[in-house]
A and B are shown apart, each in its own frame.
Chain A
């Protein structure tokens, strides 16, 4: 009896040690590279700008009270990031659907590779390409041939949106593709058997059962878009400013580190709040299904 119990305990102890060992790298990474810098940023955000730029220890809320000075950047980010996520989902869904449901296996592989290929080129390069396409020698030049003159595409919100959707589409396509791929085709037959026309089957079975993928993809894209700065810098031409751009500016140009830290913290807080709300909403709708979603 006792011997058996002892063995079992040992076994469990060994399991725990293994678990700890396996989790150690991730924990160390988390602690050193995420939490520590975050702590530094929080401390900085209550400080003052040193006369020559940088950080001077202090404890004031001025930086936070002054956030409204970057209101436009916040506004741009908070409208264009969700809008970009939505557009991304709208464009990605039909494509993922085609890949998972309609395409023959050969075409499917080919298209999946094509979706990834652009990632092999640097993001900067790909955005420059869009600068050329949308710039005065690109689409506007073509349109002027058919009589549509003086169309300004680059340096607009539109250009930024195009760039964002283009840049993050694959991140949306893959989770949706996976959720559609593993959808049991017999459920679609069952729906049809019970009298649902094809589009109702889509709305009542396919869509709800692939929302998991849409939610995952949206979360990914949304988080990355909130921190985006290259796309607005290049395609927005300094007119469509994101928080990311404000941060680059504050840390590298005007060297107001404490204020930049406060803006960062505000961004993180907003992101956390919206993600928590979003997850609540998604999970709440799906009920507590085991082994689904995270």
Chain B
């Protein structure tokens, strides 16, 4: 990883708010992008991801707060003066230029203009980098979506930006190609050591590629953390729901002990759970989040672990075969409907559960997260 200015973040937002008339697209954003990292913004449509990215690029100026690039305030500095480059959502390749013309564009804006031979060499190198060597003379409409994507990438990379901004770069590609490009982007980022900031509403994409993920909701940042931290310790129910699937069971704190809570579910069942860092007060409304893969299913109670927080009888409503996993939709008196994910490996040893079958479900005490309702 490049160190450069030691610990100066490449990008820093300080209480940035962006309004479009009445609409507040981004509110009190406060975050930093570290040099060399791969950071993703994740959130549902309209939550302000693109707006945030455009404020880094310089297409939008904040209504309040400060945007810093490499330690300097850049409020009011236009896009063409910022050392960042962007890969646009639908590529925005110049249709009147061929591939070489598109890729060379950034170099040709410099004063003094670099010599022709150097431009040609750099274009060839950069195309090679995105595995498009020899495509110089092609036109954008003569290429597939994936190839156009690579040209857009090469065009943005040739200026060696301090930060590469990517706005849903893979949204237009089919699933298989998207997977390949995800890996390729990740490799490219590691190899070049350039800071990547990516915007997506695809949680799988954000989790699989990024060093850190920023979760946004309605213009605000909800949580920032590594994919693993977000998955294991979501700050609230919104994050738990957005990052991976989760079952939620509502209840009330009955008793707070040293490191465990007793929770009474709406159905009246009482169960124990590990106590979260700021312990909720007795009587507080909480949700209990249990990931489907943490659910343990068995035909008889003997198959369940001894430290189970709660064991309930349930009936299989539906079964979906997902390849390496099977997803079961279950119903129980105590919990209502919930999902369970069973790895194929364990189904090879035992017969899979049938729709309509009655069984026992449980989870271990450590598996359930207690999230305070806000």
Instruction: Given the known inter-chain contacts A195-B106, A197-B80, please indicate yes or no for A189 contacting B139, CB distance below 8 A.
Output: no
Q: In the complex, are the beta carbons of A289 and B80 less than 8 A apart?
A: no
Q: Once bound together, how far apart are the Cα atoms of A195 and B78, in whole Å?
A: 10
Q: Given the complex, which residues of A lie within 8 Å of B110, measured CB to CB?
A: 195
Is there a chain A Cβ closer than 8 Å to B191's Cβ? no
Count A-B pairs with CB separation below 8 Å: 65
B84 — nearest CB in chain A belongs to which residue? A193
* Residues in chain B near residue A193, CB distance under 8 A: 57-59, 79-80, 84-86, 156
Chain B residues whose C-beta falls within 8 Å of the C-beta of A267 in the assembled complex: none
Cβ of B92 < 8 Å from any Cβ of A? yes
A187 engages B92 (CB within 8 Å): yes
Evaluate contact between A195 and B159: CB separation under 8 angstroms: yes
- The answer, yes or no, to whether A239 is at the interface (CB within 8 Å) is no
Does A150 touch B at the CB level, under 8 Å? no
State whether the Cβ of A136 lies closer than 8 Å to any Cβ in chain B: no
Give chain B's interface residue range (CB within 8 Å of chain A). Answer: 20 to 34
Given known A-B contacts A193-B85, A194-B106, A194-B109, A186 and B139 have beta carbons under 8 A apart: no
Residue of B nearest to A205 (CB): B94
The main secondary structure of chain B at its interface with chain A is loop
| CB-based contact B79/A209 at 8 Å | no
Given A195-B106, A195-B159, answer yes or no on A286-B79 (Cβ-Cβ < 8 Å): no
Interface residues of B in 91-111 (CB under 8 A from A): 92-96, 105-106, 109-110
B319 at the A/B interface (Cβ < 8 Å)? no
Q: Within B133-149, which residues are at the interface with A (CB < 8 Å)?
A: 139, 141
**Known A190-B88, A193-B79, A196-B109; contact A289-B155, beta-carbon cutoff 8 A:** no
Q: Which residues of B contact A208 (CB under 8 A)?
A: 96
Within 8 A of B (CB), among A15-37: none
Tell me the residues in window 164-217 of chain A with beta carbons closer than 8 Å to chain B beta carbons: 184, 186-187, 189-198, 200, 204-205, 208-209
Instruction: Enumerate chain A residues within 8 angstroms of B155, measured Cβ to Cβ.
Output: 190, 194
Which residues of B105-119 are within 8 A (CB) of A? 105-106, 109-110
Asked if residues A189 and B106 are in contact (CB atoms below 8 Å), the reply is: no
Give the contacting residue for A189; candidates B59, B156, B159; CB below 8 A: B59
List B contacts of A284 (CB < 8 A). none
Q: Given A194-B155, A195-B110, verify A189-B92 contact (CB < 8 Å).
A: yes
Provide the bound-state CA to CA distance between A224 and B179, in Å: 58
- A187 close to B80 (CB less than 8 A): no
Q: Which of B147-169 contact A (CB under 8 A)?
A: 155-156, 159
Complex Cα gap A186–B80 (Å): 14
Interface residues of A in 260-290 (CB under 8 A from B): 286-287, 289-290
- B141 contacts A192, CB within 8 Å? no
Interface size on A, residues (CB 8 A): 22
Q: Check B92 against A196 for contact (C-beta < 8 Å).
A: no
Q: Which residues on the B side are within 8 Å of A196 (C-beta)? A: 80, 105, 109
- B60-98 interface code vs A (CB 8 A; 1 in, 0 out): 000000000000000000111000111010101111100
Contact of B96 (CB < 8 Å), options: A186, A192, A286: A286
Q: Smallest CB-CB separation from A285: which chain B residue? A: B96
In the complex, what distance in Å separates the CA atom of A196 from the CA atom of B108?
9
Across-interface contacts of A200 in B (CB, < 8 A): 109
User: What residues on A are CB-neighbors of B86 within 8 Å?
Assistant: 190, 193
Interface string of B11-53 (1 = CB under 8 A from A): 0000000000000000000000000000000000000000000
Select which of B78, B95, B106, B109 is within 8 A of A289 by beta carbon. Answer: B95
A186 to B86, CA, bound (A): 11
Residues of A within 8 A of B95 (CB): 209, 289
A193-B57, A196-B109 known; A209+B88 contact, CB < 8 A? no
**Which residues of chain B are within 8 angstroms of A290 by Cβ–Cβ distance?**
141
Tell me, in angstroms, the Cα distance from A289 to B80 when the chains sit together. Answer: 29
The reply to whether A209 and B80 contact each other, CB–CB distance below 8 Å, is no
A184, A191, A198, A287: which contacts B105 (Cβ < 8 A)? A191
Q: How far apart are the CA atoms of A186 and B92 in the complex, in Å? A: 6
Residues from chain B with Cβ under 8 Å of A287 in the complex = 139
A267 to B57, CA, bound (A): 56
> In the complex, what residue of chain A is closest to B96 when comparing beta carbons?
A208
Structural contact, B141 and A289, CB atoms closer than 8 A: yes
With beta carbons under 8 angstroms apart, the residue of B84, B94, B96, B141 that contacts A190 is: B94
Q: Which residues of A contact B (CB under 8 A)?
A: 184, 186-187, 189-198, 200, 204-205, 208-209, 286-287, 289-290
Residue pairs across A and B with Cβ atoms less than 8 A apart, 18 shown, are: A186-B88, A187-B92, A189-B92, A190-B86, A190-B88, A190-B92, A193-B79, A193-B80, A195-B80, A195-B106, A195-B110, A196-B80, A200-B109, A204-B105, A208-B96, A286-B96, A289-B139, A290-B141
